[in-house]
């Protein structure tokens, strides 16, 4: 079942954007019983872990009930300091109709943390290797939709550019189009210093879970708790510390701040959809950054405008707050 993207009356194609809104009614229902299988793809210096949310026995059934034969596979990329489980609310909706995999970026989740390889080219190569290992689709040679959240949007955009015509659609979920110094008002070192959690949040696992639950209690469920638990490890003293090692955090953040969105998005041949959470104080600045990147993209070689959906009342984690809309946008991202 393909999801439709319905236009609203105020198109803004003149600046490289067209305003759209995914229809949540066109999203498949989530499968609460689905349990993904974990795999690794091994490189020279790293094993990258990913979750496969699709039942291989249903692959290419094409009967309208199971996975749709010939449809693009879906690769999902989590954000900074996040594991693959953050995509569970969306993957539960996609896995029954599309071959769907979610990677753990190197240094995060269950992937290895080698001493280097956190540059954007290597991260994009990791993503493409995961897509191949997951068979997205047709033995890893067919078309792929790539979607990323936050920093994962940057990795997804770089992977989409490398995939060329194999990329059927790119979906940027609240990231992947902005220059971080502009939207945060910070340089990279200031940003790194600001990543420390308040001591009271890290004093115990219960305190950590309560803080994350408090972001939006109605959307808290077993998947959210699992993703939250995987972000930290409990020490013998009962405190929690991040699972992502400090040198990895610094390397990834420096890659994030070095990203030039206009250059990368100008190299993506596939249709691009951006989902923008406007609930934060910097929402309008981030939308202005999207306009800048979109204008550069259309100016560089006449590529199609970016389709943009905005969510004024929501914060950064749209997979948690708007899973039906995110799933519908991914299914409708190919044009």
Give all domains of the chain, ordered by start, each with its CATH number: 5-195+245-331 (3.40.50.1820)
| pLDDT at residue 71 tops 80 | yes
| pLDDT at residue 171 tops 70 | yes
What is residue 300's predicted lDDT score, i.e. its pLDDT?
Answer: 62
Higher pLDDT, 152 or 60: 152
**Confidence tier at 62 by pLDDT (50, 70, 90):** very low
What is residue 142's predicted lDDT score, i.e. its pLDDT?
Answer: 84
| pLDDT at residue 12 tops 50 | no
**Confidence tier at 67 by pLDDT (50, 70, 90):** low
Rounding to the nearest 10 degrees, give the CA dihedral for residues 57, 58, 62, 68.
-130
pLDDT digits (tens, 9 = 90+) for 218-228: 999 999 999 99
Using the CB atoms, write b or e for 143-177: b if 16+ within 10 Å.
Answer: bbbbbbbbbbbbbbbbbbbbbeebbbbbbbbbbbb
| pLDDT at residue 306 tops 50 | yes
What is residue 279's predicted lDDT score, i.e. its pLDDT?
Answer: 85
**Mean pLDDT across 28-40:** 96
| SS3 of the chain | CCCCEEECCCCCHHHCEEEEEECHHHCCCCCCCCCCEEEEEECCCCEEEEEECCCHHHCCCCCCCCCCCCCCEEEEECCCCCCHHHHHHHHHHHCCCCCEEEECCCCCCCCCCCCCCCCHHHHHHHHHHHHHHCCCCHHHCCCEEEEEECHHHHHHHHHHHHHHHHEEEEEEECCCCCCHHHHHCCCHHHHHHCCCCCCCCCCCHHHHHHHHHCCCHHHCCHHHHHHHHHCEEECCCCCEEECCCHHHHHHHHHHHHCCCHHHHHCCCCCCEEEEEECCCCCHHHHHHHHHHHHHHHHHCCCCCCEEEEEECCCCCCHHHHCHHHHHHHHHCCCC
pLDDT digits (tens, 9 = 90+) for 139-154: 667 899 999 999 999 9
Greatest pairwise CA separation for the chain in angstroms: 58
Query: Does the pTM exceed 0.85?
Result: yes
Provide the percentage of residues in the chain whose pLDDT is more than 90.
79
**Mean pLDDT across 264-276:** 95
């Amino acid at each position: 079942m393909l999801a439709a993207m319905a236009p609203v009356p105020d198109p803004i194609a003149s600046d490289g954007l067209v305003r759209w809104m995914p229809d949540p009614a066109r999203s498949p229902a989530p499968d609460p019983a689905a349990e993904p299988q974990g795999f690794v793809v091994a490189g020279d210096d790293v094993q990258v872990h990913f979750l496969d949310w699709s039942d291989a026995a249903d692959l290419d059934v094409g009967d309208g009930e199971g996975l749709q034969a010939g449809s693009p596979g879906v690769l999902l990329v989590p954000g900074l300091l996040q594991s693959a489980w953050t995509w569970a609310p969306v993957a539960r909706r996609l896995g029954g109709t599309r071959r769907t995999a979610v990677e753990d970026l190197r240094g995060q989740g269950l992937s290895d943390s080698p001493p280097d390889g956190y540059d954007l080219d290597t991260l994009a190569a990791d993503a493409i290797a995961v897509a191949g290992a997951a068979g997205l689709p047709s033995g890893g040679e067919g078309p792929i939709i790539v979607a990323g959240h936050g920093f994962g949007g940057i990795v997804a955009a770089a992977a989409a550019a490398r995939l060329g015509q194999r990329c059927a659609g790119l979906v940027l979920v609240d990231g992947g189009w902005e220059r971080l110094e502009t939207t945060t008002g910070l340089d990279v070192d200031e940003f790194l210093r600001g990543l420390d959690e308040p001591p009271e949040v890290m004093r115990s696992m219960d305190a950590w879970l309560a803080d994350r639950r408090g972001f939006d209690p109605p959307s808290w469920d077993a998947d959210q708790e699992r993703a939250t638990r995987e972000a930290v490890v409990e020490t013998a003293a009962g405190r929690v510390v991040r699972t992502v090692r400090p040198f990895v955090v610094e390397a990834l953040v420096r890659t994030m701040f070095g990203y030039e969105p206009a250059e990368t998005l100008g190299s993506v041949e596939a249709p691009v959809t951006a989902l923008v959470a406007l609930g934060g104080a910097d929402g309008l600045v981030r939308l202005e950054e999207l306009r800048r990147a979109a204008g550069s993209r259309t100016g560089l070689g006449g590529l199609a405008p970016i389709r943009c959906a905005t969510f004024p009342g929501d914060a950064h984690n749209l997979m948690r707050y708007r899973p039906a809309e995110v799933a519908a946008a991914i299914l409708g991202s190919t044009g």
